[in-house]
Amino acid sequence: MIRRRRTHQVNVGGVRIGGDAPVVVQSMTGTYTYEIDKTVAEIRKLADAGCELVRVAVPQKRDTDALPHILEQSPVPIVADVHFHFERAMEAIEHGIHKIRLNPGNIKDRKQVDRVIAACRERAIPIRVGVNEGSVVERSDKDRRAAQKAALSEDPHEQLIALMIHVLEDYLRIFDDNDFGDVVLSLKSIDPVVVIDAYRAAAKRFDLPLHLGLTHAGPPETGRIRSIAALGTLLASGIGDTIRISYAADPVYEVEDAHELLCSLKLRNRVEPELIACPTCGRIEIDLIQLVADVRRKLTSIKTPVKVAVMGCVVNGPGEAEGADVAVFAGRGKGIIYVQGEQKRTVAEGEMLDALYDECEAFADRVERGEAKLSSGAVNILPPDPLPRSDGSVPLSVVE
Ligand code: SF4
């Protein structure tokens, strides 16, 4: 069971972040935002994959000019990532954007930040204040000295974390002065250990919702491990209100992996089948890798979170597939299919894929009709009231 840290809640175009809301999945388009049709197509693709918020970059005026057309067609709320020009923030707000992302390293002028905050308040638009390791390392000597003092350490890693927190505190003072609290925070780095420690420090210091992510995680093959190491560690300790996994690839992979991570940690309910498979070993009696790929493809048409196991032999298979709703134990030219522990039928190897699918579909139909229950219960993602504070610590909320 994961106890989530309860944070202030913000509303981004109807999507709640923080408080008792489930962890929100977000991603970012890789298109030029001014290319409206391509950007809308990518937003739709991400939304179809389960993305709940999509960020678009608006480095130029022609990007913010495109926003009304994009907002009109988008099925999910849109976040504008403002880089160096505060005018882009003002234009995006004017066009009805749902959230703004500001980098304290890029927009520093107090009067400009005040104006962005005033415009966001008028339209109830939350702001993400996103600090990146890359932008804080260029800070002034004064900031560095303050961070060194706060870190109480000569260790460069601890000083970096203290500097990131210091930069955030400094910037958030402007928001405090404006009495503006609809803020989401992020503290990204390319280094998963920096990410873990920076967010832990932020979770102790602020009660604002946290947007988790790494910068430049790399291609999915390696970025996946780096992202899951950092985000999984934080989420498992109750930290994180929205996540963006970022890869140098089609952003749909980011959304798929984000959902798998949240479902694995029982922070979100599965809505589609979960496929488990044996890792294969010297007892294998079938081309299991191919079978798993075929089963995975076929199961995409089922929209019930049935747990399906594909096992490579009948020796250890039944024990290892414990907890699966539907399982096949394959080998010696045949497959034995079980449904919730009960042996249903034995089929020839060539019929195994279709037979397994038929049993999965029939079981899913029974679940939908209320005649059967999934073996692992659905997760309650809305936490009840916070646990009582006994020591002044941040309140926790129960997720499961
Ligand atoms: S199910 Fe059989 S083949 Fe697969 S890992 Fe276990 S013992 Fe090996």
Q: Is the pLDDT of residue 243 over 90?
A: yes
Pocket of ligand 1 contains residue 28 by CB under 6 Å:
no
**Contact call for residues 210 and 203 (beta carbons, < 8 A):** yes
Buried/exposed code over 77-95 (b: 16+ C-beta within 10 A; e: otherwise)? bbbbbbeebbebbbbbbeb
What residue ranges of the chain are covered by domains with CATH 3.20.20.20?
3-264
Mean pLDDT, all residues of the chain: 89
Nearest CA owner, ligand 1 atom 2: 313
Pocket of ligand 1 contains residue 331 by CB under 6 Å:
no
Residues 6 or more apart in contact with residue 199 via CB below 8 angstroms: 187, 210, 212, 234, 239, 240
Pocket of ligand 1 contains residue 313 by CB under 6 Å:
yes
Q: Which atom in ligand 1 lies closest to the alpha carbon of residue 282?
A: 8
The pLDDT, as a whole number, for residue 294 is 95
The pLDDT, as a whole number, for residue 384 is 31
Pocket of ligand 1 contains residue 314 by CB under 6 Å:
no
Superfamily of structural domain 274-368: Sulfite Reductase Hemoprotein, domain 1 (3.30.413.10)
Nearest CA owner, ligand 1 atom 7: 316
The pLDDT, as a whole number, for residue 146 is 74
Pocket of ligand 1 contains residue 123 by CB under 6 Å:
no
Structure confidence by residue, pLDDT tens digits, 308-324: 999 988 776 566 677 89
- CATH class of the domain defined by 3-264: alpha beta
Confidence label for 138 from pLDDT (cuts 50, 70 and 90): low
What residue ranges of the chain are covered by domains with CATH 3.30.413.10?
274-368
The pLDDT, as a whole number, for residue 10 is 97
How much is the pTM? 0.86
Collapsed DSSP state (helix, strand, coil) of residue 21: coil
Pocket of ligand 1 contains residue 332 by CB under 6 Å:
no
Q: Which atom in ligand 1 lies closest to the alpha carbon of residue 321?
A: 1
